[in-house]
A and B are shown apart, each in its own frame.
Chain A
Amino acid sequence: MKTNQMLEVKDLHVYYGAIHALKGISFHLNEGEIVALIGTNGAGKSTTLNSVSGLLTPQPGQLFFGGKEITNTPPQDVVKMGIVQVPEGRKIFARMTVRENLEMGAYVFNDRDHIEADVQHAFEMFPRLRERQKQLGGTLSGGEQQMLAMARALMTRPRLLLMDEPSMGLAPILVEQVFEIIQEINSKGTTVLLVEQNAQMALSIADRAYVLETGKIVLEGTGQELLTNPQVKEAYLGG
């Protein structure tokens, strides 16, 4: 099992000033998996992803990617290694065009032809973005912004995709689309760590999942196990 571990988080603590946001969490992702991290608002999900992305410093804690320690690696180097995050609230560049947003995703690369091929590939995957490529990011609808954020992340040619609450603020039909796309990305070989409050949807597509409560992992299991777990049912699936 150790052999194909892609990401390993060991005893991760994170503080915001005096707030102890993560109280020693450990989990791992195997290559090719979709792993869900579910929990209510304020549980520490975004903090976890931002620690993996290098935006926050573990104090203490260790992170391994493909067996190599990446604790304290600056965010730009984390991206170069193949870990990309689609942040909560999408955070697309509102004053840049759709195409420029995609090109920002390819920031770590210099091979123009390859980048253009990636842009075309993103347009095939998200036809709406091709239509809107000259439009400013800020003028897109919520669903389109989520698509753009995902497409932009894929431009970094990631091996591991971190998704922070992709369903937030989207109509149910769009949520379904987004989750289908996540599965499609995964089926093409990208490992996915999916953070969600929408536990139902996340667990139904996850191979495995962890439940985070106020900075601690309280449960883990396969997606199916957790979907039928009475505790999870009561706390996260509305009884």
Chain B
Amino acid sequence: METLKKLVPSDLNASKWVRMILGILVLALLVWRLVDVILIQRLYGPDTWARFAITGLIIGGMYALIAIGYTLVYGILLMINFAHGEVMMLGSFAGYFVFELLAFIPSPGPENPEQVLLNAFPVLSILVAFLVGMLVSALAGYFLEKIAYRPLRKAPRLVPLISAIGASIFLQNAAMLLFGPQRRTYLNPTLLDRGLGLEIPIAGNNVLVPYTGIFSFVLSILLMLGLYLLVQKTKLGRSMRAVAEDKGAAALMGINVDAVISRTFIISGILAGAAGVMWGVHNGLLNHYVGYIPGMKAFTAAVMGGIGNIPGAMLGGMTLGILESLGPAMLGIDFQLKDVIAFTILILVLIFRPSGLLGERLSEEKV
């Protein structure tokens, strides 16, 4: 014990210096790139910047919804649910098949014999696709916890983590076997055609904001608001907070801890499922791999906001969406590198502020 106490402070000091020098280097690089691109080269006009920012907000909303799932589960079980991206993927497939099915069935109405259900009742179709997507992801989350995590509740912390990675690989491959490896195109109702949108004039140019984006953004905000109310104002939310704080004390108050954990996975699944259908509706492409990158990004967002912290996940998701959308342009690098930006941010956050933007200094204490 004594030697430990003596060792730790000097070690901390050393890493403090390394961090500071690294920090100054990173900052200098950033400032130089920003000045170069924005003031000297002037590559993009304000309309282009606005377009990047809007895209970032839309994708950020989806990251936020997925990130909440990571944070809720971490808050309660202190584990990273690495299969959460796959939960989203399953919801995305569910929404896809609902649209395909509705596009296959002719509308019963006499006026328009050519029309299919999908376009005869677009609003209803969208509603059904989201509800089914959310339901499928909720079930996926529920069974994931029951099968892959619950039996390992008392095992060392690394064990459920490995199980999560295994579940992620299993679900990806199961989806590939079931649905095939090909890329599919999400078939939206014409009401949410991906080519249509609002034209907003900015600096003399029109910026097209797609309806799918507006719809996704509004829906993600509404879902986050709903979640906030659920957690803060309802009995279920209070029980979730109680279990997150102290499982033993919660059980002594008559809370069924296992049931609350199940419900947490169901709620995380619902939000991920909604994000999955949004992802398909807005981006258009889908295969068994679709959840992986958004899942990793949302994990980054959750860490960035302070893992375990719900507003942090929301803020982190939005921030990450905007940063990775504006980042390549700001730094004057290739747009293909936006994924690199996200994961560079993850590394920087872990080095400089492991507790995240809104995180309390709890992480070390809890670990």
Residue of A nearest to B258 (CB): A74
Task: Tell me the residues in window 151-184 of chain A with beta carbons closer than 8 Å to chain B beta carbons.
Answer: 152, 156
Contact with A along B256-290 (1 / 0, CB 8 A): 10000000000000000000000000000000000
Residue of A nearest to B245 (CB): A93
Q: Are B245 and A95 in contact (CB under 8 A)?
A: yes
Q: Are B252 and A55 in contact (CB under 8 A)?
A: yes
Q: Are A80 and B238 in contact (CB under 8 A)?
A: no
Residue of A nearest to B235 (CB): A107
Q: Are A156 and B253 in contact (CB under 8 A)?
A: yes
Q: Are B252 and A93 in contact (CB under 8 A)?
A: no
Number of interchain pairs (Cβ within 8 Å)? 61
Residue of A nearest to B362 (CB): A95
Shortest C-beta distance, B248 to chain A (Å), equals: 6
How many B residues face the partner with a CB closer than 8 A? Answer: 16
Which range holds the interface residue count of chain A? 20 to 34
Shortest C-beta distance, A74 to chain B (Å), equals: 7
Task: Tell me the residues in window 52-92 of chain A with beta carbons closer than 8 Å to chain B beta carbons.
Answer: 53-55, 74-76, 79-80, 84-85, 87, 91-92
The yes or no answer to B255 lying at the interface (CB within 8 A) is yes
Q: Given A107-B235, A107-B239, are A80 and B249 also a contact pair (CB < 8 Å)?
A: no
Return the contact of B251 from the options A55, A103, A152 (Cβ within 8 A).
A55
Q: How far is the CA of A94 from the CA of B242 in the complex (A)?
A: 9
Q: Given A91-B246, A91-B249, A94-B245, are A76 and B254 also a contact pair (CB < 8 Å)?
A: yes
Q: Are B251 and A75 in contact (CB under 8 A)?
A: yes
Residue of A nearest to B239 (CB): A107
B residues in contact with A91, CB < 8 Å: 246, 248-249, 252
Shortest C-beta distance, B41 to chain A (Å), equals: 48
The yes or no answer to B194 lying at the interface (CB within 8 A) is no
The yes or no answer to A105 lying at the interface (CB within 8 A) is yes
Q: Are B242 and A104 in contact (CB under 8 A)?
A: yes
B-binding residues in A (CB < 8 A): 53-55, 74-76, 79-80, 84-85, 87, 91-96, 100, 103-105, 107-108, 152, 156
Interface pairs (5), CB distance under 8 Å: A75-B254, A93-B245, A107-B238, A107-B254, A152-B253
A-binding residues in B (CB < 8 A): 235, 238-239, 241-242, 245-246, 248-256
Nearest 9 interchain pairs by C-beta:
A79-B254, A91-B249, A108-B254, A75-B251, A76-B256, A76-B254, A104-B253, A107-B254, A93-B245
